[in-house]
Structure 1
Amino acid sequence: MADDTPDLTAGVALDDIPADGLLAGKVGDADVMLARWTDDAGRPQVSALSAACTHRGAQLPTGLRVGDSVVCPFHHACFDLRNGEAVSAPAIGPLGVWPVTVDGDRVTVQAAAEPAPGEPSRVDNDRGVTRVVVVGGGAGGFAAVERLRRVGYTGALALVSAEPNLPLDRPELSKNYLSGGKQVTDLPLLPADWYDEHDVETHLAVTATALDLAERVVSLSDGTELTYDALVLSTGGSPVRPDLPGFDRPDAFLLRTLEDADAIIAASEGKRVVVVGSGFIGLETAAALRQREVDVTVVAPGTVPMLRQLGEDLGRVLRSLHEENGTRFVDGRAAAWDGQALELEDGQRVEADLLVVGLGVEPRTALAQDAGLEVDDGVLVDATFETKVRGVFAVGDIARFPDPLTGRSIRVEHWAQAQRSGALAAVNLLGGQQAITEPPFYWTQQFGKSFRLSGHADSLEHGDADGSAADRQLLVTFREEGRVVAAAGLGRDRDLLKVEDSELRQPAL
């Protein structure tokens, strides 16, 4: 224990706990934080909570306190300081709660073998829902299922997934799993027995082929028909495969599923790989394969990778990071693949043994559109993620919803946003009226560095940079019509949280 880290079992002065902050300390070997707050009756209270985020272990006292919540500095998960509940993705599990005694102006935490898990909030089933069907086993669908059981819904609950596995931590596929840093056993979001223990009816490796809104029936590819009182559509996106010569060859790969990742790992060992696309999937794939010492060339138009996702300043830093680690970049547009080289539109040929296409995804909206739901580059929903058909919600990659900052209709293809929308839909289908208030957030991890962005803008190419690109400590803000609408950071985690809180959590205009 560091000399300046208080032993909370020995007690601390109440005034040592900041009224609007947190006090970090120790209980034995455990990192614990103290928070002061006021209950509904106006009485002062103190909580002692485990200090590590349950998502990736970040120290929450280095994050930002917002009211009676704390936001994680890494991936912006949010926890209720009164009871330890994980209230916002990507965290799922609650913080441990330690017994605490307040005697006058002295606060003491009681040592315990294990802290008690935080108690979840409950939601009344005001709509009288008795059967929920969730279509899609990705982030949004999983979050809806998990939150329904967490808030106390006890009715029938079915999860339909086109993939053969239970919901996985998909971002890890292009990060630590593809690089070899994690094993397949590390990927499930929850263990298989959780679904049995919580009476979740799972339909794996099947697709929803038809939706009858009038009769409230979902038809599956194996002939099963599922009836529902409430429906959550989380059908996700399909990786873009350009209609170019050779892009349908068996040595041309996409990355979306566990099977895709396994196929790339098996095929790339000792080979030369050309990656088409310099967005999230393209560059994360390149970084992961370089960590396996695979020869990698990235082909994309322009000289700044992830320009649309991070802006020019951070995009240039990201390119330099890749080049330091052996990734090559070629400016150009793909024209054809023959198994030996990628031909570009300008006639260049990039020799390689296999191709990985990372050009984003297209929303899978056919099921919703064929059923008669409103679709316009996504399924149209309100701020609660409900469509105009009562009891039918759309979340994740397919949802087009009002931006909480500007009120404009947007669609966001990122993990945390999908989880947040799924959790909100779960509460609202029971009768809640919780609107999205958090700005979109996403991150990418490459070569040990995490680039993060909060907010949404039509263009992120040019922003106002603060810090040093050379030191890789950079915060960039992006404006539209004079106001900050997004911010991106590298090595400036708490500053990014402050911008998010002060500029990006405002109500819609």
Structure 2
Amino acid sequence: MATDKHFKYVILGGGVAAGYAAREFAKQGVKPGELAIISKEAVAPYERPALSKGYLFPQNAARLPGFYVCVGSGGEKLLPEWYSEKGIELVLSTEIVKADLATKTLTSAAGATFTYEILLIATGSSVIKLTDFGTQGADSNNILYLREIDDADKLVSAIQAKKGGKAVVVGGGYIGLELSAALKINDYDVTMVFPEPWCMPRLFTADIAAFYEAYYTNKGVKIVKGTVAVGFDADANGDVCTTFESSFSCKFLNVDANVYLPYFISCSQVTAVKLKDGRVLEADIVVVGVGGRPLTTLFKGQVTEEKGGIKTDAFFETSVPGVYAIGDVATFPLKMYSELRRVEHVDHARKSAEQSVKAIKGKESGESVPEYDYLPYFYSRSFDLAWQFYGDNVGETVLFGDSDPTSGKPKFGSYWIKDGKVLGAFLEGGSADENKAIAKVAKVQPPVANVEELKEEGLQFASKI
């Protein structure tokens, strides 16, 4: 039976931001019973980047409890018992279907209600699915996505079931690049398909992308650019392969007891990807990574929105007092660039969570908290590669270092220059100190007198800042 519960603080969502917010609440001295995390996932908050990296490795694969938060930032691993010890309630496997901010009430799919005094919206993003666009055959089996641990488990099962098979990765961004590498490491014949002229176009320049495309090609990954998947072939039998029993109340039939009825799942397996340019690619597995959407639907019409997210101030408080939005869903003032932005990245999820809790507790104690001053940061790891980027990728660029994809240990980077200042810096293959140096460049935004000299100096320029 559904029950009503009240908490002083509720974090809605169970991803990275939720875990880091809980840790900050504990640091700030939350009392037992005051805080709850409500998540539709069945597990405590974990480091989501592990799913596209270590989780899919054929050997020594990452598994829980190894990547619970907050290990991603070098902190203590928050096991489920940690929440119990701190008196923080984990309300798992619970989907909230209605949020009434006026009455401070959340209602679950099962009819349970949760009331709160302070709400942190940490709902993150959902993956964009090809079925959303009515793509022909997109509901076939083995067309997979990756966002949550359940998705990762399905992908692992598919990889193991079709060993040595053919995989098509739809999308050339973060997920596309990381999953293409993971599938290749699993001895798959991999083809990556994307519509843009080069991979990772939101961040990479053509020069940077050329290195990664050549490196991947040398690893055996086939790359098809400038076209999209318009349909999928599946095996023709379409047989029903599985039956389940479903229990549900039949009050509409005036039957008090539960009845059990079979239902069926079609077993049509994807066999090929049809491309807009007319090509057809054989496939045992298709993995789609074409972006995500911030999960803000529950709050439509109740909070101010901007740039696809929930608008917040520099403390992540929304237009509704006592309601905060953190991580992917927040459109916040990015102080160093004097503009509102929404950032989808784990680093911002962690830091915005900590900032919001400091602001909440500071407001309660009457202590002021500095405004959020975030330096944009992105990173990725695949094969033997590892890059980091800091700042803003606007203006003209210079490429420096060894960007030969056949090098034993390639190390190269790029600076972005606008209005005579370096605003962004990228480095592949850097050491910890070198990565700190390019971060400092992006933060300080040093002037550049001569772009050609900057290209010659390369990393030396960063080391002088």
Is the shorter-chain TM-score for this pair beyond 0.5, marking a shared fold? yes
The answer for unaligned runs of 5 or more in structure 2 is 1-6, 70-77, 234-269, 446-465
What residue in structure 2 maps to residue 446 of structure 1? 382
Asked if structure 1 preserves the Cα contact closer than 8 Å seen for 2:331 and 2:340, the reply is yes
Report the counterpart of residue 72 of structure 2 in structure 1.
Answer: none
Shift in Å, 1:303: 4.8
CA contact (8 A) 1:238 1:361 kept: yes
**Tell me, what secondary structure is at the counterpart of 1:278?**
coil
Contact 1:273/1:295, CA 8 A, preserved across alignment: yes
Report the counterpart of residue 52 of structure 2 in structure 1: 174
Contact 2:171 2:194 in 1 (8 A): yes
Contact 2:389 2:424 in 1 (8 A): yes
Give the letter for the 1:497 counterpart.
Answer: K
The answer to whether structure 1 residue 187 and structure 2 residue 60 are counterparts is no
CA distance in 1, matches of 2:35, 2:141: 38
- Asked if residue 434 in structure 1 is aligned to residue 370 in structure 2, the reply is yes
**Structure 2 residue matching 1:487: 3-state secondary structure:** strand
Are 1:273 and 1:354, in contact at CA under 8 Å, matched by a contact in 2? yes
Matched, 1:241 2:129: yes
Partner of 2:30: 153
The 5 A counterparts of 1:274-313 are: 274-313=168-207
1:433–1:399 CA distance, 2 compared to 1 (3 A): same
1:501 aligns with 2:440: yes
- Counterpart for residue 405 of structure 1: 336
Worse overlay, 492-501 or 137-146: 492-501
What is the DSSP-based 3-state SS (H/G/I as helix, E as strand, rest coil) of the residue aligned with 1:140? Answer: helix
Name the residue aligned to 2:149: 258
1:305 is paired with a residue whose SS is: coil
Alignment of 1:207-218 (within 5 A): 207-218=95-106
Query: Normalising by the residue count of structure 2, what TM-score does the alignment of the two structures yield?
Result: 0.76
CA contact (8 A) 2:174 2:380 kept: yes
Could you tell me how far 1:165 is from its partner in structure 2?
A: 1.1
CA distance in 2, matches of 1:499, 1:326: 32
Offset at residue 380 of structure 1 (A): 0.4
Which residue of the partner structure matches residue 281 of structure 2?
350
**Letter in structure 1 aligned against 2:62:** Q
Question: Any stretches of 5+ residues in structure 1 without a counterpart?
Answer: 1-129
- Map 1:50-449 onto structure 2 (within 5 A): 131-154=8-31, 156-180=34-58, 181-185=60-64, 186-189=66-69, 190-242=78-130, 243=133, 244-269=135-160, 270=163, 271-331=165-225, 332-338=227-233, 339-430=270-361, 431=363, 432-449=368-385
Residue 369 of structure 1: how far off its partner (Å): 1.6
User: Partner amino acid for 2:149?
Assistant: L
Aligned to 1:113: none
**1:302–1:372 Cα change, 3 Å:** closer
Distance change (3 Å), C-alpha of 1:495 and 1:165: same
Cα offset for 1:220? Answer: 2.1
CA distance in 2, matches of 1:407, 1:192: 40
CA distance in 2, matches of 1:389, 1:267: 44
Q: Is the Cα–Cα contact under 8 Å of residues 369 and 375 in structure 1 kept in the other structure?
A: no
C-alpha deviation, 1:496, in angstroms: 3.9
**CA apart distance, 1:370:** 4.4
Shift of the alpha carbon at 1:479? 3.2
What SS class does the counterpart of residue 215 from structure 2 fall into?
A: helix
Query: Do the aligned partners of 2:422 and 2:441 also contact (CA within 8 Å) in 1?
Result: no
CA distance in 2, matches of 1:365, 1:404: 24
Offset from partner CA, 1:440-493 (integer Å, 9 cap, x none): 212110002111111234x58x62222121252112122344433322111234
| Helix, strand or coil at the partner of 1:335 | strand
Q: Is the 8 A contact 1:141 1:422 kept in 2?
A: yes
Does residue 1:464 correspond to 2:398, yes or no? yes
TM-score normalised by structure 1 residue count: 0.70
Give RMSD over aligned pairs.
1.9
Match of 1:476 among 410, 414, 417: 414
2:427, 2:438 within 8 Å by CA — same for their partners in 1? no
Q: Distance in 1 between matches of 2:109 and 2:83?
A: 22
In the TM superposition, what is the alpha-carbon distance from 1:140 to its structure 2 partner?
Answer: 1.2
Give the 3-state SS of the residue equivalent to 2:203 in structure 1.
helix
Residue 178 of structure 1: CA displacement? 1.1
CA distance 1:184–1:496, change in 2 (3 Å):
closer
Please tell me the residue identity of whatever aligns with 1:163. E
In 1, the alpha carbon distance for the partners of 2:223 and 2:314 equals 41
For the 8 Å contact 2:391–2:442, the answer to whether it is kept is no
Q: Which whole-Å CA distance do the structure 1 matches of 2:230 and 2:106 have between them?
A: 41
User: Secondary structure of 2:169's partner?
Assistant: strand
Distance 2:213 2:301 in 1: 42
Do 1:416 and 1:441's aligned partners in 2 also have CA atoms closer than 8 Å? yes
CA distance in 1, matches of 2:128, 2:29: 39
Q: Percent identity?
A: 30
Structure 2 distance, partners of 1:347, 1:177, is 34
Task: Give the whole-Å Cα distance in 2 for the aligned partners of 1:153 and 1:141.
Answer: 15
**Alpha-carbon distance in 2 for matches of 1:467, 1:302:** 26
Structure 1 contact 217–227 (Cα < 8 Å) conserved:
yes
3-state DSSP class of the match of 1:405? helix
Q: Distance in 1 between matches of 2:174 and 2:429?
A: 19
SS at match of 1:141: helix
Kindly tell me the number of residue pairs found equivalent between the two proteins.
375
User: Over residues 246-267 of structure 1, what are the superposed CA-to-partner deviations in whole Å (9 max), with x where a residue is unaligned?
Assistant: 1222221111111111111211
Q: Secondary structure at the match of 1:282?
A: helix
Cα drift, residue 194 of structure 1: 0.5
Q: Distance in 1 between matches of 2:94 and 2:197?
A: 42
Contact 2:303/2:319 (CA < 8 Å) preserved in 1?
A: no
What CA distance in whole angstroms lies between the structure 2 residues aligned with 1:468 and 1:183?
32
Distance 1:268 1:144 in 2: 35
Contact 2:424 2:441 in 1 (8 A): no
For residues 299 and 425 of structure 2, what CA distance do their matches in structure 1 show? 33
Taking the aligned partners of 1:222 and 1:456, their CA distance within structure 2 comes to 44
Partner residue in 1 for 2:448: none
Could you tell me whether the CA contact under 8 Å between 1:475 and 1:495 is conserved in 2?
no
Per-residue deviation, 1:153: 2.3
Cα distance in 1 for partners of 2:418, 2:195 equals 26
